[in-house]
Structure 1
């Protein structure tokens, strides 16, 4: 895992260095470079948190949680092979802005998650502060924003299919993680009643979060 994300970060850094060598800096290009910087920051933080993570207290048993974790995490890698289509400059700019917001929020979530980060459905330490006091799984929600930016940037049926598959397996990861966290931390039930799963609750709403079990 560390090797994979290190290679991704290295490739992204190389592409960023190449992009910085150009002489002209129109607004669209600046936005694109900022998007690459945000993506690189996220990858570097993934490597750091993977290396420094705490030992798991409990891990989901069975084959399905492992398969869901791998597909959910790495399905988007196949987007590299999808041929790019021509899009309007305004749409490309919008796509880059969405990607910047998504990756920036991912960095924020991962920073708070810290040493509790994992790919598989595991319980290391219960994090309920920062973005985790808004929703229980903010990192997945912010990764969905990144996928939306990718979809805007290359709107093809292949991109839609891959993003849909990734989101479906990400949701399975959430369900598996919920089961592990509930079994490990007795206080998780109260936390789940108070904080919604993925979408922030509007002010004044007091409905309990659905129990995924």
Structure 2
């Protein structure tokens, strides 16, 4: 019952986010003043919408947890690490160079695209809190143990470059700190739930791919 309630709340939250993002895209598409920069910005919004829709789908269809982290710290770290980026919406935007905005949008597109790739492979094992559902070691997970977090860091870089002020940097630092705690907590749960995770962890880097992990024939 607890997992069902958590799943319903998450699905509702991300559905609302996806709806708002879709509304923003509709407004942007109706604007007759188009440019390359504006087109790339809309593409970034489209990638964000795809990521949100996929989150809703994987949340609704996710498997029941085999093991869940105990205590309050894993839950707090998961909630802050996941939802602290929402506060970036409230930070006033500053005017930046068009070239920097273009680079930021391109990085954002890359970040969201990679996140979609990782989430697609994670599939029904996706969760916000530290839980073990099914061990995934294929796709991007053959290169690093936490590819989704690595790709979210790329996405966060794009957001910071889009609004490069101290408040944005501070929130980004908080997010990264708690995301690291999420990784640590998740690894504890996975090692307990799946004995084979230890061998996988020894062969696969945490965040940055190694030469050996990048080999497709490994």
TM-score range, shorter chain: over 0.9
Q: TM (normalized to structure 1)?
A: 0.95
Work out the CA distance in 1 between the residues paired with 2:119 and 2:37: 28
- Structure 1 runs of 4+ off > 6 angstroms? none
- What RMSD, in angstroms, separates the aligned Cα atoms of the two structures? 1.1
Unmatched 5+ stretches in structure 2 = 1-9
Structure 1 position 8, deviation (Å): 0.3
> Equivalent of 1:43, from 44, 52, 62?
52
* Runs of 5+ consecutive residues of structure 1 not aligned to the other structure: 206-213
Superposed CA offset, 1:185-213 (max 9, x none): 010011001110000013599xxxxxxxx
- Counterpart among 185, 193, 203 of residue 202 in structure 2: 193
Trace 1:93-108 onto structure 2 (pairs within 5 A): 93-108=102-117
User: 1:79-98 counterparts in 2 under 5 A?
Assistant: 79-98=88-107
Q: Secondary structure at the match of 1:61?
A: coil
- 1:74 corresponds in structure 2 to 83
Aligned counterpart, 1:110: 119
> When the two structures are superposed, what TM-score results if normalisation uses the length of structure 2?
0.93
Query: Which whole-Å CA distance do the structure 2 matches of 1:193 and 1:123 have between them?
Result: 19
Alignment match of 1:161 (pick from 151, 158, 170): 170
* Alpha carbons 2:112, 2:155 under 8 Å: kept: yes
Give, in whole Å, the separation in 2 of the partners of 1:70 and 1:77. Answer: 11
- Whole-Å separation in 1 of the counterparts to 2:212 and 2:204: 12
Residue 153 of structure 2 is aligned to residue 144 of structure 1: yes
